[in-house]
């Protein structure tokens, strides 16, 4: 059993799935992969099953009945990975926005340098985003500032989705109480890690916009984040014990 697993949630990633799996497995350090697919109509899961014949001990698939959001896909994956006793549990997108070459740096930040959470951060050495239209870069950067302001967390890239967690962190957080289903899930996970006093470090990465497949970003995801963050902060002030 390897001690690190990369969780990749997928919805219609047929154009990326095989390449991302092969890329992760070609890295110097050997990590396992768990794909959490939400019954993608494009047959992403079928492709994963084919690949599992080639990587029987290291590639795993969890299939859910329909599109239920990135947050709940990760919660599902976290619980699965904790049950299997992995020590280092990663979040990564399927679309190559997160470069698999950075996995080892995130891993070292936790394993070697003793941090509990390592965030692949776009905003600690300027703005490291490639191919996003200017308005999206601005929106993401502003969102990160906004979250920093409201929550008080000393984290530059609060919405980052490229993260390595030590299993202790995920065990300490009550995963059944995570409220957000969309991208705000990323903020909530960091906030809860922060409230619990875990050591969080940001590792600079370059984020590249997807070149294949389609985006799942939507207006409801954004409004969940804008109002949800304030609610989350207020709840933490009045309800400290529950975190
Ligand atoms: N299982 C599951 N995966 C999802 C869901 N929504 C998004 N994903 C996956 O989560 C990852 C991030 O989603 P993206 O669509 O790339 O979101 P984004 O990076 O904000 O937007 P673009 O890169 O512009 O598409 C990808 O691997 C998606 O396939 C969902 O509801 N369920
Ligand atoms: Mg993406």
Q: Is 213 in the pocket of ligand 1 (CB under 6 A)?
A: no
Q: How many domains are contained in the chain?
A: 1
Q: Is 202 in the pocket of ligand 1 (CB under 6 A)?
A: no
SS3 state at 96: coil
Q: Is 4 in the pocket of ligand 1 (CB under 6 A)?
A: no
**Spatial separation of the C-alpha atoms in residues 122 and 118, rounded to whole Å:** 13
Tokens, residue 134: 């200017």
Question: What dihedral do alpha carbons 47, 48, 49, 54 form, nearest 10°?
Answer: 100
Q: Is 157 in the pocket of ligand 1 (CB under 6 A)?
A: no
Compute the average pLDDT of residues 2-28. Answer: 96
Ligand 1 nearest-atom number relative to CA 67 = 31
Tell whether 115 is covered by a domain: yes
Residue whose CB lies within 8 A of the most ligand 1 atoms, among 6, 8, 11, 77, for a mutation test: 11
pTM > 0.85: yes or no? yes
Determine what percent of the chain is predicted with pLDDT higher than 70. 95
Tell whether 243 is covered by a domain: no
Q: Which domain holds residue 95?
A: 4-238
Q: What CATH number has the domain bearing residue 54?
A: 3.90.550.10
Which residue's alpha carbon is nearest to atom 30 within ligand 1?
69
64 half-sphere exposure, CB direction, 13 A CA radius: 19
Compute the average pLDDT of residues 223-242. Answer: 81
Q: Which of 202, 200, 193, 199 is nearest to 236 (CA)?
A: 193
The per-residue pLDDT for 1 is 41
pLDDT, tens digit, 9 for 90 and up, residues 51-104: 999 999 999 999 999 999 999 999 999 999 999 999 999 999 999 999 999 999
Q: Is the pLDDT of residue 106 over 80?
A: yes
Compute the average pLDDT of residues 24-43. Answer: 97
């Amino acid at each position: 059993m390897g001690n690190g697993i990369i969780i990749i949630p997928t919805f219609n990633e047929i154009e990326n799935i095989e390449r991302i799996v092969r890329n992760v497995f070609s890295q110097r350090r050997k990590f396992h992969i768990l794909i959490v697919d939400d019954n993608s109509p494009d047959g992403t899961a079928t492709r994963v099953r084919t690949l599992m014949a080639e990587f029987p001990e290291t590639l795993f698939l969890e299939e859910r009945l329909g599109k239920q959001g990135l947050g709940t896909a990760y919660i599902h994956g976290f619980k699965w990975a904790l049950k299997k006793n992995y020590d280092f549990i990663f979040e990564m997108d399927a679309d190559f926005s997160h470069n698999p070459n950075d996995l080892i740096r995130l891993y070292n930040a936790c394993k070697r340098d003793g941090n509990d959470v390592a965030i692949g951060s776009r905003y600690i050495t300027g703005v490291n985003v490639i191919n996003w239209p200017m308005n999206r870069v601005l929106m993401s950067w502003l969102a990160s500032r906004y979250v920093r302001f409201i929550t008080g967390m000393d984290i530059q890239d609060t919405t980052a989705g490229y993260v390595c967690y030590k299993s202790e962190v995920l065990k300490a957080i009550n995963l059944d109480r995570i409220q957000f289903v969309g991208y705000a899930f990323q903020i909530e996970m960091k906030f809860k890690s922060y409230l619990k006093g875990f050591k969080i470090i940001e590792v600079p990465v370059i984020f590249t916009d997807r070149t294949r497949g389609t985006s799942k970003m939507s207006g409801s995801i954004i409004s969940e984040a804008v109002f949800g963050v304030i609610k989350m902060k207020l709840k933490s002030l009045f309800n400290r014990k529950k975190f």
